[in-house]
Amino acid sequence: MSADFLVIGAGVAGLSFALRAARYGSVVVLMKGGAYQSNTAWAQGGIATVLPDGMCSSGDGVESHVADTLDAGAGLCNEAAVRTIIGEGAATIEDLMGYGMEFDRKDGRFELGTEGGHSHRRVLHTRDTTGLKIATALIEAVRETPNITLLEQHVAIDLITTAKLGAVADDRVLGAYVLNAKTNEVRIFRADRVVLATGGCGKVYLYTTNPDSATGDGVALAWRAGASIANMEFIQFHPTCFYNPGATGPEARSFLVSEAVRGEGGILINAKGEDFTLQSDHRGSLAPRDIVARAIDRELKRSGADCVYLDITHKPKGFMPERFPYIYQNLLNFGLDCETQPIPVVPAAHYQCGGVVTDVAGRTGITGLYAIGEVACTGLHGANRLASNSLLEGNVMARLAVADCLHRFAPGKPVPAAPVIPEWEPGNTAEADELVVIYHNWDEIRRLMWDYVSIVRTDNRLRRAAARLRNLGKEVREFYWGHRVNADILELRNLVTAASLIVDCAVRRKESRGLHFTLDHPGTAERLRHDTVLRKF
Ligand code: SIN
């Protein structure tokens, strides 16, 4: 199969790219699962945007949004990237509304919410299902676009590049080997422009707000292809995942209680009713996420409690069902009325701030290979992402990536002849007889990452994690080459790679900055104010 553009992943970034690119050529979009299994579809908060004068909060402006983003990023943001992406906010809202997306309004004006680290109300939203509404609008538009082929249950195995085929002088992407998970067939998907839009790697951790699909696929594919990866130590933990020990199924275990609830006055308290977050930062429950997550971690360790509480009971009756109907109803389904009871919450892995090194147009070091959205590391987030900046980044990067593709290699322009691409090398074709190995390794990776590489780290814990992951990586490789490929093996292979990249970056950062906090190096060192960049070859 071949196309002008091959897009791997179908969140806001991949779908925005596909819709725009389809004006200029044929597009294939690969999805591992179904259409709504993306971090975008699960996003509750909204899109942080500064609108033109008169439509934004009084006193707000692009400069304030830039300043808040830089402040959250703890010295590691790329200011030029921040300015470009934040400056495109109004264009993003216009682009999404062009596909039928609507944002909540009051008296004809956009209703603006807020979250941790924002100095003004600037988060456009659709109640508490903003991401689902965006995903729905974009997927409907994609399904109506004849130039786009949307393929569910298709898993990218490896990227095909000229360097991998032995031509080292000009490293160019040629497509990908792809598994059809329904038929278990592997095919070559040929394209001179390949876009990784696979989202993040929350499933690397035992507790996460991410869907099951978030297994670090894009980072792992890019790593194996020889692209640079940076800042994987900066994994953002969301402070308020619903604590639900009896939960069965990923959606119940990973149920997020949006930070926008704190934006509307929700306060984090301990079992005694004390607002413990004020000891860490004067902004209390609305400080940036790294600070709040660490405050909760400290409180849990100090008190020995299993969870803390998010209290919104002081709001007038009717407020929660009106402003946060999805959260309100889900909590009721779990037996909790948040109008009268504080919500038990714990932090959980939420967002990958590092990723494949790119510019704001998603260009990687491999010609024709782009990475956009959460999978990319543009420098927008630095050492900690400002809440609700990521749907914005996904759409902006998609638009800039299409423009860059057209500028460099528009469909129809001649490209150097591609070498012959060999058929997929299947390794041993024995059926995977011991799936228990996959499930055991999967659980072990997630637990060890939670125990050794989560909110608070030490040199010792990181060393242990690195050693264990090396062994797990070897076992997974043996299993991968020893058996017929299937979607579970592919995810496990990517998961162990993403986990190893997180640990390898964390080991190198001998300071505490943003989301990386280590007891052995508690201070921030000016000489270490640079990205952690890794390359396989
Ligand atoms: C949330 O609704 O709390 C998540 C928003 C985000 O992570 O940007």
Token couple for 289: 């996420």
Closest residue by Cα to atom 4, ligand 1, is: 45
What is residue 149's predicted lDDT score, i.e. its pLDDT?
A: 98
519 CA to centre of own chain:
26
Best residue among 39, 42, 44, 128 to mutate for probing ligand 1, ranked by most atoms within 8 Å of CB: 44
CA pair distance 156, 45, nearest whole angstrom? 30
CA pair distance 350, 71, nearest whole angstrom? 20
Using DSSP, state whether 198 is helix, strand or coil: coil
Closest residue by Cα to atom 7, ligand 1, is: 387
Spacing, Cα 126 to ligand 1 middle (Å): 13
Pairing of β 235-242 and β 343-352: antiparallel
Pairing of β 5-8 and β 193-196: parallel
Give the atom of ligand 1 at the shortest distance from the alpha carbon of 391. Answer: 8
CA distances from 523 to 133, 281, 455, 507, 513 (A): 42, 17, 15, 15, 8
Best residue among 47, 49, 115 to mutate for probing ligand 1, ranked by most atoms within 8 Å of CB: 115
Q: φ, ψ for residue 236 (rounded to 5)?
A: -85, 130
Q: φ, ψ for residue 306 (rounded to 5)?
A: -85, -20
What is residue 250's predicted lDDT score, i.e. its pLDDT?
A: 67
Best residue among 238, 242, 351, 384 to mutate for probing ligand 1, ranked by most atoms within 8 Å of CB: 238
Residue 220: other Cβ atoms inside 10 A? 26
**Hey, which residues are catalytic here?**
289
CA pair distance 239, 123, nearest whole angstrom? 18
What is residue 431's predicted lDDT score, i.e. its pLDDT?
A: 73
Closest residue by Cα to atom 8, ligand 1, is: 388
Which residues sit with their C-beta closer than 6 Å to ligand 1? 44-45, 258-260, 387-388, 390
**DSSP 8-state symbol, 347:** E
Spacing, Cα 387 to ligand 1 middle (Å): 6
As averages over each run of 10 residues, the pLDDT of the chain (537 residues) reads 97 98 97 90 94 85 97 98 97 97 94 96 97 97 97 97 84 96 96 98 96 97 98 98 83 87 98 97 95 96 96 98 97 96 97 98 97 98 97 98 93 84 81 76 95 97 98 93 90 98 98 98 97 95
What is residue 461's predicted lDDT score, i.e. its pLDDT?
A: 97
Task: Please name the amino acid found at residue 508.
Answer: R
H-helix or E-strand containing 20?
A: helix 12-21
CA pair distance 380, 300, nearest whole angstrom? 31
CA pair distance 2, 330, nearest whole angstrom? 43
Spacing, Cα 463 to ligand 1 middle (Å): 31
CA pair distance 262, 310, nearest whole angstrom? 8
CA dihedral 443, 446, 448, 450 (to 10 degrees): -140
Give the atom of ligand 1 at the shortest distance from the alpha carbon of 259. Answer: 3
Spacing, Cα 404 to ligand 1 middle (Å): 29
**DSSP 8-state symbol, 118:** -
Strand ranges (DSSP E) for 331-416? Answer: 343-352, 355-357, 369-371, 376-377
Spacing, Cα 221 to ligand 1 middle (Å): 26
CA pair distance 369, 468, nearest whole angstrom? 32
Give the atom of ligand 1 at the shortest distance from the alpha carbon of 350. Answer: 7
Using DSSP, state whether 187 is helix, strand or coil: strand
CA pair distance 336, 341, nearest whole angstrom? 7
Using DSSP, state whether 462 is helix, strand or coil: helix
**DSSP 8-state symbol, 526:** G
Token couple for 304: 């020995």
Token couple for 366: 């491999």
Per the DSSP assignment, residues forming a β-bridge with 363 are 370
Per the DSSP assignment, residues forming a β-bridge with 351 are 236
Could you tell me which of 390, 329, 365 has the C-alpha nearest to residue 197?
390
Number of H helices, E strands in the chain: 16, 21
Give the atom of ligand 1 at the shortest distance from the alpha carbon of 351. Answer: 7
Contact 105, 113 (CB under 8 A): no
Contact 328, 257 (CB under 8 A): no
What is residue 348's predicted lDDT score, i.e. its pLDDT?
A: 97
- The residues near 490 (Cβ < 8 Å, ≥ 6 apart) are 155, 157, 179, 217
What is residue 54's predicted lDDT score, i.e. its pLDDT?
A: 78
Domains of the chain: 1-204+213-234+356-425 (3.50.50.60), 236-350 (3.90.700.10), 435-525 (1.20.58.100)
Buried b (16+ CB within 10 A) or exposed e, 306-317: ebbbbbbbebee
CA-based angle 308:314:315, to the nearest 5?
115
CA pair distance 69, 92, nearest whole angstrom? 18
Spacing, Cα 29 to ligand 1 middle (Å): 26
H-helix or E-strand containing 235?
A: strand 235-242
Spacing, Cα 258 to ligand 1 middle (Å): 6
CA pair distance 203, 269, nearest whole angstrom? 28
Best residue among 69, 130, 235, 256 to mutate for probing ligand 1, ranked by most atoms within 8 Å of CB: 256
CA pair distance 235, 482, nearest whole angstrom? 32
Closest residue by Cα to atom 5, ligand 1, is: 45
Give the atom of ligand 1 at the shortest distance from the alpha carbon of 240. Answer: 3
CA pair distance 490, 384, nearest whole angstrom? 29
Angle subtended by helix axes 435-452 and 487-508, to nearest 10? 20
Contact 115, 286 (CB under 8 A): yes
Per the DSSP assignment, residues forming a β-bridge with 48 are 123
